[in-house]
Amino acid sequence: MASRPATDLTEQAQPVELDLSRIRRHEPVVYFVLNGSRIKIGYSTHFPERLRSLSIPSESLLLLLRGGTALESALHRRFGKYRVGGSEWFEIAPAILRYIGTRLTIPPVPAAGPLTMPEEISLLSAPGSVAGDARAAFGEILREFEARGHLVVQTKDFAPYLSDLDRSRPWVAGELGRLAREGRLTPDGRNRYHITPADSQT
């Protein structure tokens, strides 16, 4: 019997919720995390510990999907042209960000076992407004930061604006990565970004 195409497996993948404050093991998940100018696509059955081993804060989580090594391999093949060497790190490519965005519009399901995330701290809340509107609002917030002289930003700086944006922290992290790719921001490798003055952009 022929194996299922990688695209089918990746398209059928479902977002999953985890309580990142717990340390017990859970069902296999595939994660997308942002670090500087790269996105890591990996697999884990102990994601909170995996984050600690990578020295990456939970705010850098972009997406968790229900699945194991087969899904991880399928995603690596799907985004293979953006892969950095033979690693699990990938360039911040529009195709990867689009994939993350489409998954975030699907309501996440609780992980099997004890690790369900309380609603009030959900990192995978589905966006509710039009993407273009949220992006425009995000740009206005950046300009506000720039006007105040707040020229180094990170995901947590946007926490007070999440309800206005109607977006989650992973969406903000992905948007910061997109703007870094477009030259509006410059990553410093520590999950922080320097705002490039608008009048210096070509």
Q: What is the pTM of this model?
A: 0.56
pLDDT in tens, 12-61: 999 988 766 655 678 889 999 998 889 999 988 888 888 888 888 888 88
Residue 54 counted as domain residue: yes
Q: Which two tokens stand for residue 120?
A: 């009030």
Q: What residues contact 41, with CB distance under 8 A and at least 6 apart?
A: 30, 31, 32, 72, 75, 76, 79, 88, 90
Same domain (yes/no): 74, 165: no
Same domain membership, residue 89 and residue 47? yes
Write the pLDDT tens digit of every residue in 108-146: 776 665 433 333 223 333 333 334 577 777 888 888 888
CA-based nearest residue to 14, from 59, 88, 67: 67
Give 197's pLDDT tier (boundaries 50, 70, 90). Answer: confident
Give the total number of structural domains in the chain: 2
Q: 84, 118, 152 — which closes off a domain?
A: 118
